[in-house]
Amino acid sequence: MHSIQHLEIHVAHACNLTCESCSHYSDQGHKGVVSLAEAAEWMQAWRHRLSPAMFSLVGGEPSLHPDLATFVEVARMNWPSARLRLVTNGFFLHRHPRLPEVLARDGNAALYLSVHHDMPEYVERLRPGRELVERWVRDYGIQYIIVRSFEWWTRRYRGQGSAMEPYEDGQPRASWEQCPARYCPQLFEEQLWKCPALAYLRMQNAKHRLSARWSPYLKYQPLAPDCTDGELVEFFAREDEPSCSMCPAAPEKFTMPVPLRLAGVRV
């Protein structure tokens, strides 16, 4: 068993928000969720090789998954000692009445409410979700943390969709040192990926047909479950590498527009 600090898995690729320059590309119209069968298969491929101190369920928006509570239980079955972190924007938690019971019974799981704007329109739309979580805290004693994500939001690439371009500042070390996802390896399609920007780039390319400037990054090779112990240790010890050049060496903060969709999201 190789002990690591953190590992993430996408629960859903779809998202109800349009947070510009999302490092998971969740603002760019991706659909779908990771099925329970897929998730179990991916986790089982690594459960006897990795021991993460924290295992995060992210997206996209996890609460778009119809079986979110069961997803939490599957994660716990595979990593019984990990701290489980469910990161959600809170808008669809009402769809999961069994979730607070599952989180409370687990004892080592927490719900992280990621707040993506502070404008009154957004705050008011989020109010029912926050009030629901506060009831769960009162009635079930779940662990609950608010994360004001908009306060540290930066651009991770230039443009959107087919016009999206990498930064390519030529300073991969600086890009890695400034990267907010440098300690967020992804478990996706049964393989380990350095970060979300690389893990979901092929999905982004399939949807938007990115320019040739992305070719070097699309060739990134994730780590497969049949890797050697040495390759596994080296993967998690590696810091900057050429692929880091896709992200900025000097991240640009900007005022993100209110990321509320005008219509409902389709999974």
Q: What is the pLDDT of residues 138-173, one digit of tens each?
A: 999 999 999 999 999 999 999 999 999 999 999 999
Nearest to 211 by CA among 164, 159, 246: 164
Cα four-point dihedral sign 242, 244, 245, 246: positive
**Which domain, by its residues, includes 163?**
2-246
Q: What share of the chain is helix, strand, coil (3-state, %, to 5)?
A: 40, 20, 40
Q: How many domains does the chain have?
A: 1
Place of tokens 């079986």: 67
pLDDT value of residue 189: 98
- What letter does residue 147 receive in the DSSP assignment? E
Residue 266 has pLDDT above 70, yes or no: no
Collapsing DSSP to helix, strand or coil, 54 comes out as strand
Q: What is the mean pLDDT of residues 87-112?
A: 98
Across the chain, what does the average pLDDT equal?
A: 96
The answer to whether position 262 is within a domain reads no
Place of tokens 């090789």: 49
Q: What is the mean pLDDT of residues 258-262?
A: 83
User: Which residues, at least 6 apart from 148, have a Cβ–Cβ distance to it below 8 Å?
Assistant: 115, 118
Kindly indicate the confidence band of residue 81, based on its pLDDT and cuts at 50, 70 and 90. very high
Residue 127 has pLDDT above 90, yes or no: yes
The answer to whether position 267 is within a domain reads no
Instruction: Read off the amino acid at residue 154.
Output: T
> 205 is written with which tokens?
């390319």
The answer to whether position 251 is within a domain reads no
Residue 263 has pLDDT above 70, yes or no: no
Residue 264 has pLDDT above 70, yes or no: no
- What letter does residue 47 receive in the DSSP assignment? T
The answer to whether position 257 is within a domain reads no
Cα four-point dihedral sign 223, 226, 229, 230: negative
pLDDT value of residue 261: 78
Kindly indicate the confidence band of residue 262, based on its pLDDT and cuts at 50, 70 and 90. low
The answer to whether position 256 is within a domain reads no
What's the whole-model pTM score?
A: 0.95
pLDDT digits (tens, 9 = 90+) for 47-69: 999 999 999 999 999 999 999 99
CATH at 139? 3.20.20
Residue 265 has pLDDT above 50, yes or no: no
Residue 31 has pLDDT above 80, yes or no: yes
pLDDT digits (tens, 9 = 90+) for 192-233: 999 999 999 999 999 999 999 999 999 999 999 999 999 999
Nearest to 109 by CA among 87, 78, 89: 87
Buried-state track 196-230, b at ≥16 Cβ within 10 A, e below 16: bbbbbbbbbbeebebeeebeebeebebbeeebeee
CB 65 within 8 A of CB 37: no
Please report, rounded to a whole number, the percentage of residues in the chain having pLDDT higher than 90: 96
